[in-house]
Amino acid sequence: MSIEKFSLEKVLSVHRWTSTLFSFTMTRPAHFKFTAGQFARIGLKAGDDLVVRAYSIVSSPFDETLEFFSIVVPDGAFTSNLQHLQAGDELYLEKIPYGFLTLARYQLPLPQDLWLLGTGTGLAPFLSMLQDFETWHKYQQINLVYSVRTAAELAYAERIEEIAAVFGEGHQGFRFIPVITRDPHAPLHERLPALIGNGALEQAAGLALNPASSHVMLCGNPQMVEDTKEALKARGLTMNRRGEGNIAVENYW
C-alpha cells in the first residue's frame, strides 16, 4: 500500500479500560473530514511494511482530535504492537474515511426510533453519532444497547451519560441499555438475538421494534451481527438497501 495515501499523526493520549480494551486519541489533520459512523484506516510500520487496520471513529465529526476504541488481539500483527501505544508515538492515518454505517443512508421509513446495537468496540461509531446534534433532532426515541461479557468491559458508561446530557439536553427519549452476558444477575444477560426473540430488549426499552418506524444499526462481533440480523428479520424488519429498510450493518470486519 502506498504510504503517500497516509499522513503521519501523533498519539495524544491512551486510556486502558481493561487488559484487552483501550482507547487512544491522535491529532486530526485539517483535510480529514468524516461523517459520524464512518471508519478510518490506521497504519503501523513493521519493518519495511505498513500494517493497516480499520477502526470506527469515536469522535464527533466536529472534534479537533480523533479518538478510537481498540481490542487487543493476542499475537495480532497490529494490536499486539498497538496496545503498547504511549502519548507522543506516531501513527499513519489514511487521508480519506470509509464506510456507510451513517444515518444518511436511511430514507424510508422516516426517522422516528433509532436502535444502536453494539458489542465490544462496535460501540465506537454509535458514540460518534450521539455526538452529533442532528441525531438528537431527527429521532424521537434513541436506544443505545451495549453488549459485553463482564461489567468491567462496559467502557464509556460515564461518558455516555455525559454525551446524553450535553448533546441530548431536553431530549426525553434516550435509553442506555447495557447487556452483560456472563453475569446471570444482570437485568439483561442473554445474547442480543435471544433478547430480541423473547421480547426482553423491547421491554427494557419500553418500545417495540417496528418495521414501520425503526432504524436499527449493528456493529461488533461478526457472528453477533449475523445472528441479530436474522432475529430482526424474523420480526419483520428488512435490510436497508438503496435508502429503504430498517437494518444497517458495518461490513469492514
pLDDT at 80 (0 to 100):
65
The pLDDT, as a whole number, for residue 85 is: 87
What domains are defined for the chain?
Answer: 3-94 (2.40.30.10), 103-249 (3.40.50.80)
How many CB atoms within 10 Å of residue 238?
12
Alpha-carbon gap, residue 226 to 119, rounded angstroms: 13
Taking alpha carbons only, the member of 54, 37, 46 closest to residue 118 is: 37
pTM for the model stands at 0.95
- Name the amino acid, one letter, at 175: R
Spell out the residues 6+ positions from residue 78 whose beta carbon is closer than 8 angstroms to its own.
44, 51, 52, 53
Q: What H or E segment, with its residue span, contains residue 165?
A: helix 157-167
* pLDDT of the residue at 82: 77
10-residue mean pLDDT profile of the chain (253 residues): values are 88 94 96 96 86 94 97 74 86 95 96 96 97 97 97 96 95 97 97 97 98 97 95 97 94 54
Cell of 181: 452476558
DSSP 1-52: --GGGEEEEEEEEEEESSSSEEEEEEE--TT----TT-EEEEEEEETTEEEE
Q: What is the pLDDT of residue 161?
A: 96
Residues 6 or more apart whose CB falls under 8 angstroms from that of 221 comprise 119, 120, 122
